[in-house]
Amino acid sequence: MARSINLAVIPGDGIGTEVVSQGLKVLRAVLPQEVKLETEEYDLGARRWHATGETLPDSELERLKAHDAILLGAIGDPSVPSGVLERGLLLRLRFAFDHFVNLRPSRLLPNTPTPLAGDPEIDFVVVREGTEGPYVGNGGSLRTGTPAEVATEVSLNTAHGVERVVRDAYERANARPRKKLTLVHKNNVLVYAGHLWKNTFDRVGREYPEVTTDYLHVDAATIFLVNDPARFDVIVTDNLFGDILTDLAAAITGGIGLAASGNINPTGEFPSMFEPVHGSAPDIAGTGKADPTATILSVALLLQHLGLTAEAARVEEAVTADLHERAALGTRTTDEIGDALAVRVSG
Ligand SMILES: NC(=O)c1ccc[n+]([C@@H]2O[C@H](COP(=O)([O-])OP(=O)(O)OC[C@H]3O[C@@H](n4cnc5c(N)ncnc54)[C@H](O)[C@@H]3O)[C@@H](O)[C@H]2O)c1
Ligand SMILES: CC(C)[C@H](C(=O)O)[C@@H](O)C(=O)O
Ligand SMILES: [Mg+2]
CATH number for the domain that contains residue 335? 3.40.718.10
How far the first Cα of the chain sits from its last, in Å, is 21
**Do residues 127 and 248 share a domain?**
yes
Please check whether residue 181 is in contact with residue 233, taking contact to mean a CB–CB distance below 8 angstroms: yes
228 labelled catalytic = no
Over residues 135-161, the pLDDT tens digits come to 999 999 999 999 999 999 999 999 999
Give the pLDDT score at 53. 98
Question: 28 and 43: one domain?
Answer: yes
Is 233 marked active-site? Answer: no
Stretch 72-87: mean pLDDT, rounded? 98
- Are residues 148 and 78 part of one domain? no
**Ligand 2 neighbourhood includes 277 CB (under 6 angstroms):** yes
Catalytic residue among 68, 123, 214, 247: 247
SS (H, E, C) the chain: CCEEEEEEEEEECCHHHHHHHHHHHHHHHHCCCCEEEEEEECCCCHHHHHHHCCCCCHHHHHHHCCCCEEEEEECCCCCCCCCHHHHHHHHHHHHHCCCCEEEEEEECCCCCCCCCCCCCCCEEEEEEECCCEEEEEEEEEECCCCCCCEEEEEEECCHHHHHHHHHHHHHHHHCCCCCEEEEEECCCCCHHHHHHHHHHHHHHHCCCCCCEEEEEEHHHHHHHHHHCHHHCCEEEECHHHHHHHHHHHHHHCCCHHHCEEEEECCCCCCCEEEEECCCCCCCCCCCCCCCCHHHHHHHHHHHHHCCCHHHHHHHHHHHHHHHHHHHHHCCCCHHHHHHHHHHHHHC
* Mean pLDDT, the chain, integer: 97
- Which of 219, 236, 253 is the last residue before a domain boundary? 253
Nearest Cα residue to atom 5 of ligand 2:
243
Looking at the fold, whether 233 and 285 belong to one and the same domain comes out as no
Maximal C-alpha separation, the chain: 66
Ligand index nearest the alpha carbon of residue 134: 2
273 lines ligand 2 (CB under 6 A): no
- Boundary of a domain, candidates 202, 236, 253: 253
- In this structure, what are the phi and psi dihedrals at residue 333, rounded to the nearest 5 degrees? -80, 170
Confidence at residue 315, expressed as pLDDT on a 0 to 100 scale: 98
Q: How many CB atoms lie within 10 A of CB 149?
A: 10
The pLDDT assigned to 230 comes to: 97
Percent of the residues in the chain that have a pLDDT greater than 70, as a whole number = 100
Instruction: Please identify, among 219, 253, 287, the residue that sits at the C-terminal boundary of a domain.
Output: 253
43 among known catalytic residues: no
Residue 289 in this model has a pLDDT that exceeds 80: yes
pLDDT of residue 166: 99
Task: Output the pLDDT for position 347.
Answer: 73
Q: What one-letter code names the amino acid at 247?
A: D
The arrangement of strands across the sheet holding 35-41 comes to 35-41, 3-12, 69-74, 272-276, 260-264, 101-107, 123-129, 234-237, 180-185, 212-217
CA of 142 to the centre of ligand 3 (A): 28
Ligand (nearest to CA of 251): 1
Is the minimum distance from the CB of 86 to ligand 2 under 6 angstroms?
A: yes
Q: Does 107 fall in a domain?
A: no
Centre of ligand 1 from the C-alpha of residue 280, in Å: 5
Residue nearest to atom 12 of ligand 2 (CA): 277
Binned at pLDDT 50, 70 and 90, residue 328 comes out as confident
The residue whose C-alpha atom lies closest to atom 17 belonging to ligand 1 is: 279
Q: Is the domain of 9 the same as that of 126?
A: no
The total number of structural domains that make up the chain: 2
One domain for residues 324 and 344 = yes
Domain identity same for 127 and 208: yes
> Is residue 28 one of the residues assigned to a domain?
yes
Examine the residue annotation and report whether 243 is marked as an active-site residue of this protein. Answer: yes
* pLDDT for position 327: 83
Is residue 1 over pLDDT 80?
A: no
Which ligand is nearest to the Cα of residue 14, counting in written order? 1
Q: Report the pLDDT value the prediction gives residue 121, as an integer from 0 to 100.
A: 95
89 CB less than 6 Å from ligand 2?
no
2 pLDDT higher than 80: no
User: What is the extent of the structural domain holding 49?
Assistant: 1-102+259-347
Q: Are residues 120 and 183 in the same domain?
A: yes
Is-catalytic flag, 198? Answer: no
Pocket of ligand 1, beta carbon within 6 A: 15, 19, 74-76, 86, 90, 256-257, 275, 278-284, 290-291, 294
Give the Å distance between the CA of 48 and the centre of ligand 2: 20
